[in-house]
Amino acid sequence: MLAKEKNEWWEWMKALLIAVGMAAIIRYFLFAPIVVDGLSMMPTLHNGDRMIVSKLGEPDRFDIVVFHAPEHKDYIKRVIGLPGDKIEYKNDTLYVNGKAYKEPYLDEYKNQVSDGPLTKDFTLKDIIDRETVPEGQIFVMGDNRRFSKDSRHIGTVPFEEVIGDTKFIYWPVKDMGLVE
C-alpha cells in the first residue's frame, strides 16, 4: 500500500512539474500578459486594459506592439514605419513612401479636436536625421498623438527590443475582444 501511495505522489509531482514547465515555455517564448499603463494609446486602449502579447512573428505596419523603451519600461505603441520606409505627416495625414494612408483608429480623436491637427507635421529627417527608417528598426507612435511619448521623442525601436504584438484585450470583460 505504501508503494502505491508513493507512486501516486510521484505521478502528481511529475504532472505538476510538466504543467509548470509548459506554462513557463508558453509565457517566455509564445505569449505573455501585459497591462496598459497610461493614456498614450487612447481611444484604442485604456489605462488598465489587460492584453495578451504574441511573441510570434515580426511586427507589421499598424500592428500594436510592446517593446522595451530606453527608460527601462515597456511601452505599447502602433507601428507606423518599417525598415526602409520614408515617413512624413502633412496636414494631419500619414504618408509612407509618398503614399497617403488612412488611419481609421484616429477618427474618433480627429472629430473631437478643433484647435489644430491631431498629429503635427514632421518628416523622419526632422526626427532622426535620416530619410528612412533604419534596417532592423521600426517607427512607432501612440494613437493619442498629442500625449504620447513615442518615436518622435525616443527615436526608432530596434527589432530586438520588441517583445511582440498585441491584438486581444481580455480584461475588463466589457472591452474583451480584438482591437485594430
Q: Which residues are catalytic?
A: 40, 77
Enumerate the H helices of 26-131 as residue ranges.
107-112, 124-128
The C-alpha atoms of residue 107 and residue 26 are separated, in whole angstroms, by: 36
Nearest CA among 32, 40, 4 for reference residue 146:
40
Nearest CA among 77, 75, 64 for reference residue 167:
64
Nearest CA among 139, 25, 123, 141 for reference residue 77:
141
